[in-house]
Amino acid sequence: MRVIIVTLFFFSIPVSLAAQQEVASKVKTNTLYVWTLEESIDYALEHNISIQQADLELKSTTLNYEQSKMNRLPNLSANLSQRWASGNSIDPITSDFINQKSSATSVNLNSSMTLFNGFQTTNRIKQNGLITQYTGLLLEETKNSIQISVTEAYIQALFSKEAVMIAQTQLKASAQELEQAEGLFSGRSLTLKDLNDVQAQHAQNQFSLLNAEVDYEQRLLTLKQLLDLDGDVGLELVAPEDDYTTTWFGDQQQIYQAALEFLPEIQASLSSIEISEANLNIAKGALYPTLSLSGGLSSGYTDSKALNFSDQMEGNFSKSLGLTLSIPIFNRFSTSTNIQQAQINIKQDELSNEATKKELYRKIESARLSAVSYAEQMQSADVAREAARSSYELAQAQFNLGELTATDLIVAQTTLNTAELNHLQAKYLTILYTQLIEFYQGNPITLSS
C-alpha cells in the first residue's frame, strides 16, 4: 500500500459546477487570471490524467465484478449445419449406410451450467466485489495524492513568487546605493574599492533576481503539469493572509486515529487481506468435485427419406438432459501449491497492512513535529528580520554620511536578505505542514485563515 510522502524543495531558493465552468473558460484563453489553491485542487481532480486512469481501472473492475455474477447463469448456444455427401456414407440424421448423393440439415440447441464447484463461483464473485472496492479506494488514494502534490507545488510557487519580490526589493535598494556611491566617489568621499564593491553587489543582485524569476517559472510549470494545463496559460497565485495562523492539532494519537478512519490506503490494505482470503477459499474449492448440468434439443432433415421437411423435423426431434460429476484425484499437487501460495499472500498482506499503519504513524509524527518546529522558527525569524531591517536602515544612513564602508553596508544588506528568506521559508513550511496535518484529519486543504 502507498503512503503519501511530501518532498520539499524550498531549500534551493470541492467548488460548484459554475465555478468549474468559469475556470475551464479561463483556461482556453492566454490572459492572466487568478487561481486559488482550492480552485487548483478542484481543477486537478477533474482533469488530472492519473485520476482519469484510476477511474477507468475502477470501471474495468466493476465490469469484471458484474460478469462474475452473470457466470452463475446457464449458457445457451444454437448450431445449424448443412451437409452434402455422395457415395458410401452414413446419414447423419438416420445413421443408415447409404450409397447415393445426399443432403442433410441438422439443428441443435444446447445449454449447460455448473451446479457445484466447491463454492468457487461464489468466492470469485466475492473476490471481484472486493477488488472493485479496493480499486475504488485506490482511486481515492490517487485523488489524495494529487491534492497533496498540487498543494506542495502551489506553496512552492508562492514561496518562489515572494522570493522574486524580495530579490526585486534588494535590487532596487542596491541600485539606490550604487547611485549614492557614485555620487560619494565623485565627491572624493568614497574609495574606488568601496565603489567597486557596491557595483559588484548590484550585479550580484541582478543575477539573484534572474535566478529567482527562473525558479518561479519552473515552479509554475510544475503546477501547470499537475493541472494538465498548457505552458502558455497565465496563472496568478493567491497568497495566504499575512496574519495566517496555525491551529492546535491535538496529540499524536488523535491525529493518527483520525487518519486511520479517513485515509483510503489503510482501508485498501485491509481490502487486500480480504481479497487474499477469498483467493484462498477459491483455491480450496478445487479440492471438491464439480457437478454440471447439461441439456439439449435437436432435430434434422435428410433427402434420403421420402418425408417432407416439416414431417422429418417433427419426427426427428429429440431432447437430452445429463449430469456430469468431475472428481479431482491427482493434478500434480497444483491445488496444494495454490492453497499454500494463497496462505502466504494473506500473511504478506497482513504484514503490509501493519507496515502501512506504522509508516503512516511515522509520517504524521514527522509532519506534526515539523509544523510545530517551523511555526516556532517563523516567530524567531520574524524577530530576526525586523532586527536585520533596522540594522540595514541604520547602515544605509551611515553609508550615506560616509561613516560606513561599502563592505559593512553589503554585510548588512546580505544579513537582511538572509533574514527575509529564512522568514519566508519558515512561513511556507509551516503552512505546508499545517495543511498536511489538517488533511490527515479529514479536513479540506485551504489557505484561508
Domain-located, residue 448: no
Question: Is residue 2 a part of any domain in this protein?
Answer: no
Instruction: Among 269, 303, 327, give the residue marking a domain's end.
Output: 327
Instruction: State whether 222 and 321 are in the same domain.
Output: no
The answer as to whether 1 is a domain residue is no
In the predicted model, what is the mean pLDDT of residues 411-431? 93
By C-alpha distance, which of 200, 202, 182, 179 is closest to 191?
A: 182
Average pLDDT over residues 399-426: 91
Domain boundary among 302, 327, 352: 327
| Contact residues for 443 (Cβ-Cβ < 8 A; gap 6+) | none
CA nearest neighbour of 128 among 278, 333, 305, 337: 278
For residues 114 and 290, the answer to whether their CB atoms sit within 8 Å is yes
Q: Longest C-alpha distance within the chain, in Å?
A: 134
Q: Say what percent of the chain tops pLDDT 70.
A: 90
Q: Percentage of the chain surpassing pLDDT 90?
A: 65
Indicate the number of domains in the chain.
2
23-56 exposure pattern, b = at least 16 Cβ within 10 A, e = fewer: beebbeeeeeeebebbbbbbbbbbbbebbeebee
- Quote the CA–CA distance of 303 and 377 in Å, as a whole number: 101
Answer yes or no: do 24 and 35 share one domain. yes
For residues 218 and 263, membership in a common domain is answered with: yes
- The CATH number of whichever domain residue 153 belongs to comes to 1.20.1600.10
Both 366 and 281 in one domain: the answer is: yes
297 and 369 fall within a common domain? no
pLDDT digits (tens, 9 = 90+) for 70-127: 999 999 999 999 888 777 777 777 767 777 787 888 999 999 999 999 999 999 999 9
Higher-pLDDT residue of 348, 408: 348
Tens-digit pLDDT profile for residues 301-338: 888 787 888 888 888 899 999 999 999 999 999 999 99
The range of the structural domain enclosing residue 92 comes to: 75-116+290-327
Task: Mark whether 344 and 366 lie in a shared domain.
Answer: yes
Is the predicted pLDDT of residue 384 greater than 50, yes or no?
Answer: yes
Phi, psi of 252 (to 5 degrees): -60, -45
The CA–CA distances, whole Å, from 256 to 253, 260, 275, 434 equal 5, 6, 25, 15
Are residues 388 and 314 located together in one domain of the fold? no
Check whether residue 215 and residue 182 sit in a common domain. yes
Answer yes or no: do 313 and 236 share one domain. Answer: no
Task: Judge whether 265 and 3 are in contact, CB under 8 Å.
Answer: yes
User: Distance between CA atoms of 313 and 300, rounded to whole angstroms?
Assistant: 5
Tens digit of each residue's pLDDT (9 = 90 or more) over 166-202: 999 999 999 988 988 888 888 877 889 888 988 999 9
Domain boundary among 300, 327, 354: 327
Q: Which residues of 80-115 are buried (b: 16+ CB within 10 A; e: fewer)?
A: eeeeebeeebebebeeeebeeebebbbbbeeeeeee
Instruction: Read off the C-alpha cell for 31.
Output: 490572459
What's the whole-number average pLDDT of the chain? 88
300 beta partners: 106
Distance, in Å, from the CA atom of 91 to the CA atom of 182, rounded to the nearest integer, reads 118
Under a CB-based contact definition with an 8 Å cutoff, are residues 301 and 105 in contact? yes
Grid coordinates belonging to 286: 478445487
172 in any annotated domain: yes
Spatial distance between the Cα atoms of 340 and 287, rounded to a whole number of angstroms: 13
96 and 46, same structural domain?
Answer: no
Side-chain-side CA neighbours of 409 within 13 Å: the count stands at 30
Q: What separation in angstroms does the CA of 22 have from each of 27, 39, 46, 232, 276?
A: 9, 10, 14, 18, 46
Q: 145: how many CB neighbours lie within 10 A of its CB?
A: 19
My answer on whether 55 and 106 are in the same domain is no
pLDDT digits (tens, 9 = 90+) for 130-144: 999 999 999 999 999
Looking at this protein, which amino acid is placed at residue 430?
T
The answer to whether residue 413 sits within a structural domain is yes
Does residue 21 register a pLDDT over 50? no
251 lies in some domain:
yes
Residue (of 309, 344, 403, 360) closest to 106 by Cα position: 309
3-class DSSP state of 316: coil
Q: Is 118 left (phi over 0), alpha (psi -120 to 50) or beta?
A: left
Residue linked to cell 535566478 = 211
Copy the grid coordinates of residue 263: 485515509
Assign residue 85 the CATH number of its domain.
Answer: 2.20.200
C-alpha cell at 210: 534572474
- In a domain, residue 405? The reply is yes
| Residue whose C-alpha is closest to residue 437's, from 362, 376, 378, 365 | 365
Helix axes 192-227, 37-47, angle to 10 degrees: 40
Q: Give the DSSP letter string of 160-192.
A: HHHHHHHHHHHHHHHHHHHHHHHHHHHTT-S-H
In a domain, 445, yes or no: no
* Same structural domain, 301 and 407: no
SS3 category, 79: strand
